[in-house]
Amino acid sequence: MSVITWAADQLDSWSKGRHPSPADSRHLIGSWAAKSLLQYFAVEWIVFLSWSDYAYWRNVVSDLGARGCHSVDGQTTCRSAFVAADLSFILIGVGVAVAALLITSTVLRVGGHFAEHEKEVRLSRAAGQADLPATKRLIRHLGGEHEGGELTRAHHLTTATRFFMAVAGLAVVGVGVFPEDFYAADGRPWAHMISTAVFLVCAVVTLSLLGILWLGPRPVVAWILLGLAAVAAVGGTLFLIKNVAAMAGRPEVLGDFTGLYERGVIYGFIVGMAVMGWALSSGANRRPVAEGAGKHRGSDDGVTSLNGKRRADAGSTTGPLSSPAA
């Protein structure tokens, strides 16, 4: 048995009886992990208060996480609040990575909508092919299709969204672990620079892909995400031009607004992830009444008690016990 066949068989076995729901614990944790990114705004303000010469429009976010001492007007000032900023960066990265790992492709594809989720699962099972070669089965599992159905554009968008979201999270962890004054042997903060560059790119791509993915199931949220992606893209482009010009000896290009340009990406991403978390948790809160009640009712008369026994007053029931939500 080849490795591919073994992997496909393992994923086939794992997917049997697996029915991810927008309201299960992993999706609730994932949605709250995405919303937890908002903690950064409070931490940033607290660390900002420890500075006397920090400007939001001029200083980049990484300045808040710089270690050690700085010389200001001939006086050396040492700050300890940088620890809070770096921990906040790490928590952002962990929150994003947790959201990318816990929110399944099945639920993310439909924006957390119960009705669309159930419909997609039924269609997937009906179109599933159990006799596919191992390679195709493995590819479909990796694409988020665990019933054997064809991979669609939505499947590919979901896989790409989760991938770039996870990479963005890991990159932010790198920003916190390797501050801007964590220098390599050649005197340059390569680890910080690479982590920052990867995050800025993946943040814009994640917002864009998620916005495109949700144009169908979540049109209002999708346009909000695409608007945030546009803000992030513009900010990232200006930030790149500003830094290239500064390295070329032209620091006056685009004015003294480096921090503002960078914040366009960072703030846009944080708000976008929080919006995603809100959309998924709001979908879970709209769970149809019939779905929850059906677990405790008989398939024919709908008057069984919670322990599965028929109620004594079943015959006297004159009206419906409940009406399913629209």
Cα 75 from Cα 77, distance rounded (Å)? 6
pTM of the model as a whole: 0.79
Mean pLDDT over 76-82 rounds to 72
Q: Is the pLDDT of residue 219 over 90?
A: yes
In the chain, % of residues over pLDDT 70: 69
Q: Are 36 and 91 in contact (CB under 8 A)?
A: yes
Mean pLDDT over 21-44 rounds to 91
Taking each helix axis from N to C end, the angle separating 219-247 and 258-285, rounded to the nearest 10 degrees, works out to 160
Question: Would you state the pLDDT for residue 127?
Answer: 54
Mean pLDDT over 6-34 rounds to 74
DSSP state at residue 304: B
Q: Exposed (0-12), middle (13-18) or buried (19+): which is 152, by Cβ within 10 Å? A: middle
At 154, the pLDDT band (50, 70, 90 cuts) reads confident
CA-CA distances (angstroms) from residue 299 to 118, 291, 294, 295, 302?
19, 13, 8, 10, 6
- Cα 261 to its chain centre, rounded Å, is 22
CA atoms within 13 A on the CB side of 229: 18
Mean pLDDT over 282-297 rounds to 52
Question: Would you state the pLDDT for residue 252?
Answer: 87
At 295, the pLDDT band (50, 70, 90 cuts) reads very low
Question: Which range has the worst mean pLDDT, 42-51, 133-142, 167-176, 247-256?
Answer: 133-142
pLDDT tens readout for residues 89-99: 999 999 999 99
Mean pLDDT over 112-127 rounds to 59
Q: Exposed (0-12), middle (13-18) or buried (19+): which is 268, by Cβ within 10 Å? A: buried
pLDDT tens readout for residues 243-277: 899 888 898 889 889 999 999 999 999 999 999 99
What is the domain partition of the chain in residue ranges? 32-68+78-117+153-286
- Phi, psi angles (nearest 5°) of residue 21: -125, 145
Cα 200 from Cα 237, distance rounded (Å)? 10
Q: Is the pLDDT of residue 10 over 80?
A: no
pLDDT tens readout for residues 165-199: 999 999 999 999 999 888 888 878 899 999 999 99
In the chain, % of residues over pLDDT 90: 47
Q: Are 273 and 204 in contact (CB under 8 A)?
A: no
Q: Is the pLDDT of residue 126 over 80?
A: no
Mean pLDDT over 202-217 rounds to 96
Cα 66 from Cα 43, distance rounded (Å)? 15
Report which of 49, 45, 87 is spatially closest to residue 65, judged by C-alpha positions. 87
Question: Would you state the pLDDT for residue 313?
Answer: 46
